[in-house]
Amino acid sequence: NAREPSSRFVYLKYNKPRGVTCTMEPSQKSSMLYALKDELKVLAEARRKINGGASLGGSARVFPVGRLDRDSSGLVLLTDDGRVPEALLDPKNKASKTYDVDVDRFVSDASIENLRSGVVITTTQQRDGITTTAATSPCEVSRIPVTKGSHGADALRFILTEGRNRQIRKMCEAIGVEVTSLHRRSIGDVSLSVLSATEDGDDEKRKTENAGSVLECGGVRAVEGEELVYLARAVAESAARRQAAPTGGAKARAA
């Protein structure tokens, strides 16, 4: 059921600070495993109680969905549901991601248009080390107010579905500006906004009343409500696409 995510899994949103590495690798002291050690222990204890006292280990075994650079901040999704990365990161149907970016100098309207249309950048994949030089896919770019205290001269909002390594920083370099801060606001329909419950359960009312309320830096909160429904729907749609896709044998017979 696309409106009823499985209670067997954990879905969290984390407002990652700069300096924290987007991994659960125990050998890296800057990893989220250490940054969130207290929260994960509490989560593991809560899940132990739900599971009737069965031990789940020292902390909850969640992992980040995708990556966010160590020197960037903002939304990271954490889950133990292996279906979510495939649902949100599938190259054929990637969830859009929104970033607020401060840069060191003014960006002309012509340069913004170039960013929207696509600029040629060279990126290296972290997993296999393959280097690619190619134009970026068309995306949404708009000018926004500079973040207070960022020391930036101008600020842009990017909405991307593409996800190449350090893509926004490389795109900005291509037009002659340098990123001074990069903050991810949302992944698909999941954002850093904090929506407190209302007595009548009106989601639109919650969004209006909490329009300026965001998860604090370093904070963790469960994904819930319509955002959780969005994840469940994405997982269901991913499974349907996979089921509808022809197998290798079917392709061969068709040929």
Supply the DSSP symbol for 94.
P
Q: Whose CA is closest to 239, among 111, 84, 24, 37?
A: 84
Number of residues in the chain: 255
CB atoms near residue 125 (< 10 Å): 11
Q: Which residues have a Cβ under 8 Å from the Cβ of 136 and sit 6 or more positions away? A: 118, 119, 120, 121, 162, 164, 167, 171
Distance separating alpha carbons of residues 11 and 34, to the nearest angstrom? 19
For 75, the token pair is: 């939304």
Cβ(227)–Cβ(189) below 8 Å: yes
Distance separating alpha carbons of residues 142 and 160, to the nearest angstrom? 12
Q: Whose CA is closest to 12, among 98, 68, 76, 96?
A: 76
Find how far residue 170's CA is from the centre of its chain: 19
Q: Which residues have a Cβ under 8 Å from the Cβ of 64 and sit 6 or more positions away? A: 22, 23, 24, 32, 76, 77, 78
Residues tagged active-site: 69
